[in-house]
Chains A and B, each alone.
Chain A
Amino acid sequence: MIGEMDSMVLSHYLFTGAVLFALGVVGFVARRNLIIMFLCTEMMFQGVAVSLVAFSRFHLNYTGQTFVIFVLTIAAAEAALALGLVVLLFRRKRTLDAAAWAELRG
């Protein structure tokens, strides 16, 4: 039932993962809303997860799927911390604009 997967098929799945990652990068750089920026990091996690599961299927090795569990763990931790940070920053300046913190550039 579970057979070998073709390399071209793997490339298709990797393509989807790479596009999700690249869109996450673009969004993180281009958007100014702090919440959207962190949403874009979650999207990069999604792209990585797709690639990991595709590799797992390609090599017939379940470690890839296990790593997605760890990616989910990190994503959950990151969401908790990032949203806590966003709430803190919002409380200081009453805005979600990342440019409001441009003074941190130094």
Chain B
Amino acid sequence: MRLILQDRSALSTGHRQKVKLILVLVLFWFVIIGVRLLELQVLEHKKLKAEVLEQSQDLITVLPTRGTIFDRNGKILARSLPAASVFFSPVKGDSLEQQVQSIHRLKNLLDLKEQEIRKILNSIEKRKRFTWIKRKISLELAEKIRSLKLPGVYLLEENRRFYPHGQLAAHVLGGVNVDDFGLAGVEYYYNSLLRGEEGQQLIMKDARKREFFIETIKETKPGQDLYLTLDSTIQYIAEKELQRAVEKHQANWGTIIISLPQTGEILAMASYPSYDPNNFPPPENVMPNRAIQHTYEPGSTVKMVTAAAARELGQIDWNTHYDCSQGYLVFGGTMVRDHVRLGVLSFSQVFIQSSNVGTIKIAERIGPENIFQMFRAFRFGEKTGIDLPGEEAGIFHPLEKWRKSSLRVAIGYEISVTPIQMLQTLNVFATGGYLIRPRVRLEKPSPLTGTITAALEPPAGSQLILRPETVRGLVDLVLQPAVEVGTGREACLPGYLMAGKTGTAQKYDPELRTYSNKKHVASFAGFVPARQPLISMVVVIDEPRGQFHYGGQVAAPVFREVARKVLLYLNQAPQKLPENLILAKKETSIGGVTD
């Protein structure tokens, strides 16, 4: 509606003044508004904008959830779950007494020790703005603390790493620190893959501080899941048998590694003593993964490499015989002994009976160059490249540094190896001559990855270092008889064809500056079945102090027990029937009666 002023002059003076006054007031009001607007929009713009943003928006860093670690069958070995951390940040105006009181109220609830309380109170007294009270507590406990509404006590959402199987595969898994950063094992080796990437979110809040809109500024990249080649059941069997053996023989430590020889996949890697990764870090003495980090002189287990050198490079005939009747041999200024006088032995018998004298005679015949060349082909003195941190390379001197006594390499002295190197060596014989890198990560997990079968073809990247006919001969005529009638008889499992080699090495005593007669490393390396092996295994027991110390007495029985249980688990029937086995015959009559 439009109003038309008909007659300006018709307005009285009084009216005109009133209108002017109103106009002035309106103008004045506009000026005040304008000044205030100028103040808010221009002069205090930055400060006010920041305040508004602080009140209505939150830019938060979103921590990624660390990836889960599974075994080859999809069993959870490590997983991160939500937890809460409690921290203290003083409230303005609160006295020191009030702050201390808040901490004391949490003492019992959080099971804080005196030392922890002192540390927190020290920090408060120093007027620090932020002090951790307890990290990674359960959500239930966090809720209890929240309900107390203690001034200055706050909760922060975090993740906590859980290892539901406790000690199982502890040395392979390793562990993480309080900030979920991998410090050992696959947790360390694959940390960047497991950890993921942090993200950022902008949270919009209303006047009541309720979140009503979340905008993702940077997408959080959760950590990738990791599938291991380990089979938790086989790992458990290995750990239990190892613990039993170490305790029975009062040994320092022991280790067992089991693999699928054709692929290099590690099925179990046990070290004892062990630790619980839920309480990481453990004491230093149990921390090392001895399967890859401990080097030792292997003794007779490497005689299989000497035998390979003799057949492959030395052209030694199977029928050549060696006089070992004296039982000892002075060689390069040192005396080499056999455990008993063994008489005249054929080439095969030298290794089956594990004669040091016979092996040295064979090594002398084929020469140090050939021995060196063969040991070098097996990559002694080099890391296997297993995907675990801290692997040792062992010691294998270059040929230029060899003395005459260095030929004792042929019987497993003057060389130091890791158990994983011995497994890689053993797998060359189990696979028909291929050197295959061992690994613990399953490359392509699928619903069928858990299936354990004897693979027919070695993986790409493996290297053929022995002729298949050489390997076949050594397995049939040396390694198999070594278990059936040789020093490895205790490893023999009725019904199965097995191949392997025992090892007993005297340990060097730095105080006596000579090899000790009391300290030994007992080992056994073998695979089963001897043809198309399903599993290969290395057992090492350090310093057995009981009645026995030979590899054939200490390590071979462990191999047998582990193999028996693992084959049972894999539903691997015996290849030949044990003589004392009575078979039930199943007959069905018309009446359905069965015997």
* A and B together in one complex: no
Give A residues with C-beta under 8 Å from B. none
Give B residues with C-beta under 8 Å from A. none
